[in-house]
Structure 1
Amino acid sequence: MEFTKLTEIELPAAFDAHVHLRDGEMAQLVTPTIRRGGVNQVYVMPNLVPPITTVQQCLEYRDRLRTIEPNVDYLMSLYLHESITPEVIREAKKAGITGVKSYPAGVTTNSSSGVLDYETFYPVFAEMEKQNMILNLHGEVPSTPSDAPHPHSSETREGSSAITILNAEPAFLPTFKSLHHRFPNLRIILEHCSTAAALDAVRACGPSVAGTITAHHLSLIIDDWAGDPFCFCKPVAKTPEDRDALLRAVVSSGGRFFLGTDSAPHAREKKRGEDKVAAGVFTQPYALGYVFDALEKGVARGVIKEGDVTQEVLEGFFGGWGRKFYKVEDGKGEKVVLRKGGEKVVHVLRKEEGGVEVVPFRKGEQTWSVEWK
């Protein structure tokens, strides 16, 4: 097929390996948009307030999501926390919970209860390896406080350097590699890769390791989020070279990378109007369309070749490769048809009766529409 000349294409329904659906009123608003984006199976993040740290909490959360939208398959995760023990891992496995998500303390939304020392959790990781569960890593380290000593001063250790949101992901990669080295059979996903270095780190690991790529990181660079709070996420988008490396990874990874949108809704006032901007880009209702648009632009810029974007690549990135790594199937065998330019992104997502409002990525722009067969 000639990708850039396509106006319509049929694909299997997608698997999104990284979604934030929140709870309460926000969940009521955003959970129905999963299928609007062409997705029927999702891996749900546990960073609620309070975080999902017990099997009972996790199963009750899944029940609430099923009540809102029963036509989606929800794979569930626990939040890595000091209360997670090998016993909890065994209980979680029996209950059908898929994995555990690790957030370094304080790096992103609702991560204040996150990890300070990975070595503490070695017994947990060993049990996860034994139980064939997945460890999902938010691959950043916390930023150095702005009032900390200068990295070249005598007060800091030799060879240290300050951590900012721009190098927080590269700074985490040694930890990522050491975890894989210590637990070579533990299935690990480096989430939302945002740099060429992260892609290289995943490729250097064994087959038990994979990475997810978001829809928005395929489009954004530093300049985009620096002037627009609705493009600000963690990890932040990096350089044009990093963005282009992600595009190439989509079409050439052979299954090492697959879609995990990290779609993260925030109330509009949390993104603009308070003292700090909430980290997160909301892409759920248009997930597949955003990726198609980014690939088209990648071909136009010469980053990827027309022939690189094949039916096999699209089916793999959108679902086949992720399902294979997660060892799940699409039991329904559903199909979607995408049509070029068939949908306009709404300026604000809201319910007719009012309440919480969320601004989607690329509001007001045209993208591909999704129709279920």
Structure 2
Amino acid sequence: MDTLTIRRPDDWHLHLRDGAMMRAVLPETTRHFARAIIMPNLVPPVVTGADAADYRDRILSAKPRGSKFQPLMTLYLTEETQVGDLRAAAEIGLITAVKLYPAGATTNSASGVKDFTKVKRVLENMAQIGLPLLVHGEVTDPDIDIFDREAVFIDRVLDPIRRDIPGLRVVMEHVTTSDAVDYVRAGGPDLAATITTHHLVINRNHILAGGIRPHYYCLPVAKRETHRRALVAAATGTDTAFFLGTDSAPHTDTAKLQPCGCAGCFTAPNTLSILTEVFEQHGALDRLENFTSLNGPAFYRLPANDDTITLRKGEPVSYPAKIDTDDGPVTVFDPGMPLHWRVIED
């Protein structure tokens, strides 16, 4: 097979930032994706319906002329989130989900939740109206090893919440462990997970072996090779609970290359080439459309996209090493392997 046509994909976890950065990186997503769940961890965060409307309008005004890209907005869950505001935003279709960051878990998460009892009423209302909760699934306790924080989050936080609030629809975002894959597989129809492009490609050796490679540093951090293989099996398999959320997270090189560098991999430009390569390597090209274009809309109760894109296999594809922004250059994720598939129809 040297050509592959699939329904146009969606990205169910995307960071666009704001201002000059957003204007520079947005076209890298709109080129291939019809919709994307937009993360709300700006400074200050997107915590109210009014915040979401303003941010949506800034995105729409920045997208390329003629683009039909649709940003799907989210609210940042805090201990002060108001039920009435959240429900009103959901009822008019302004927001598609709510994001839970444990305080201090990742970039711009200082406003996140510390006491989960304080958000129980909000979560109960979300269960009533079917509004998904998107979780950054890591505990932040300093006594928990960073490589164990996802598994501990499932046991200490997520499973108790789901037992306490039946019917709450949850997406475990950017899962990185076999523990999370197993939990999602056994979780029933109200639980799903996104898998990133970079976690299908790298393990923790890519970050640390032979020298520190900051452009592979992300949160949740990449784990052992056994966990990467579990993610590939989930993505290329038949379980509809798993779908693409790139977690494409641009930071300028200045922010990445410092003693305390930022976490995030910028994968928007080359994600589809990387994914097609991975799926072909595992004999699963026939399942790529499910992962990129069908499983996500099904969980979110949205229609799949009608239009299609076509990828063609040929000589290795070249992508820019960096994207220039008015804030500084952003390095594009390097998968460390030749990419033979390129999108030829948009």
From 17, 21, 26, the counterpart of 2:16 = 21
Residues 1:43 and 2:43 aligned together: no
Distance 2:56 2:296 in 1: 20
How far apart, CA to CA, are the structure 1 residues paired with 2:105 and 2:327?
28
Q: 2:110 aligns with which of 109, 112, 116?
A: 112
Aligned pair in 2 of structure 1 residues 166, 364: CA closer, same or farther (>3 Å)?
closer
Match of 1:243 among 228, 231, 237: 228
SS of the residue 1:345 aligns to? coil
Within 5 Å, which residues of 2 pair with 1:114-263? 114-144=112-142, 162-174=143-155, 175-226=157-208, 227-263=212-248
* Separation (CA, whole Å) in 2 of partners of 1:295 and 1:253: 13
Q: Give 1:355 deviation, angstroms.
A: 4.3
Q: Please tell me whether residue 73 in structure 1 is matched to residue 45 in structure 2.
A: no
Contact 1:345 1:363 in 2 (8 A): no
Are 1:203 and 1:256, in contact at CA under 8 Å, matched by a contact in 2?
Answer: yes
- Match of 1:149? none
CA contact (8 A) 2:215 2:333 kept: yes
The answer as to whether partners of 1:177 and 1:205 remain within 8 angstroms in 2 is no
SS at match of 1:344: coil
CA distance in 1: counterparts of 2:46 and 2:102, whole angstroms? 16
Q: Is the 8 A contact 2:252 2:327 kept in 1?
A: no
Q: 1:310–1:338: structure 2 CA closer, same or farther, 3 Å change rule?
A: closer
AA at the equivalent of 1:108? T
Identify the range of structure 1 (210-219 vs 175-184) with the bigger mean alpha-carbon deviation. Answer: 175-184
Residues 160-187 of structure 1, C-alpha deviation per residue, up to 9 Å, x if partnerless? xx31221111110111111221222111
Residue in structure 2 matched with residue 158 of structure 1 by the alignment:
none
Match of 2:262 in 1: 278
- Aligned partner letter, 2:71: Y
Q: How many angstroms does 1:336 deviate by?
A: 0.9
1:39-67 Cα shifts (integer Å, max 9, x gaps) = 11111000000000010110111111111
1:253 to 1:165, Cα distance in 2 relative to 1, 3 A: farther
Q: Deviations over 1:172-206 (max 9, x none)?
A: 01111112212221110000010000111112212
Q: Is the 8 A contact 2:198 2:335 kept in 1?
A: no
Structure 1 runs, 4 residues or longer, greater than 4 Å off: 363-366
Identity %: 36
> What residue in structure 2 maps to residue 291 of structure 1?
275
SS state of the match for residue 11, structure 2?
A: strand
Q: Does 1:62 align with 2:56?
A: yes
In structure 2, C-alpha distance between the alignment counterparts of 1:359 and 1:319, rounded to whole Å: 26
Q: Which moved more, 1:275-284 or 1:354-363?
A: 354-363
Partner SS, residue 124 of structure 1: helix
- 1:68 deviates by 1.3
Question: Which position in structure 2 is the counterpart of 1:154?
Answer: none
TM-score normalised per structure 2 = 0.93
**3-state SS in 1 of match to 2:330:** coil
| Equivalent AA in structure 1 for residue 299 of structure 2 | F
Code of the residue aligned with 2:33 in structure 1: it is: V
The number of equivalent residue pairs is: 336
Q: Do the aligned partners of 2:12 and 2:36 also contact (CA within 8 Å) in 1?
A: yes
Whether contact under 8 Å (2:46, 2:75) holds in the other structure is: yes
**2:328 matches 1:369:** no
Matches within 5 A, 1:260-339: 260-272=245-257, 274-297=258-281, 299=282, 306=283, 309-311=284-286, 313-330=287-304, 333-339=306-312
TM-score (norm 1): 0.86
For 1:183 and 1:343, how far apart are their aligned partners in 2?
Answer: 47
Pair member with larger Rg? 1
Give me the whole-angstrom Cα distance separating, in 2, the residues matched to 1:61 and 1:254.
Answer: 34
For the residues of structure 2 that align with 1:338 and 1:143, how far apart are their CA atoms?
Answer: 44
Q: Extract unaligned runs of 5+ from structure 1.
A: 1-5, 145-161, 300-305
Task: Report if aligned partners of 1:52, 1:78 keep a CA contact under 8 Å in 2.
Answer: yes
Structure 2 residues without counterparts, runs of 5 or longer: none
C-alpha contact (below 8 Å) 2:46/2:52 kept by paired residues: yes
CA-CA distance at 1:253 after TM superposition: 4.0
| Distance (whole Å) between structure 1 residues aligned to residue 28 and residue 8 of structure 2 | 14
Q: Contact 2:323–2:331 (CA<8 Å) still a contact in 1?
A: yes
Structure 2: how far apart are the matches of 1:91 and 1:205? 29
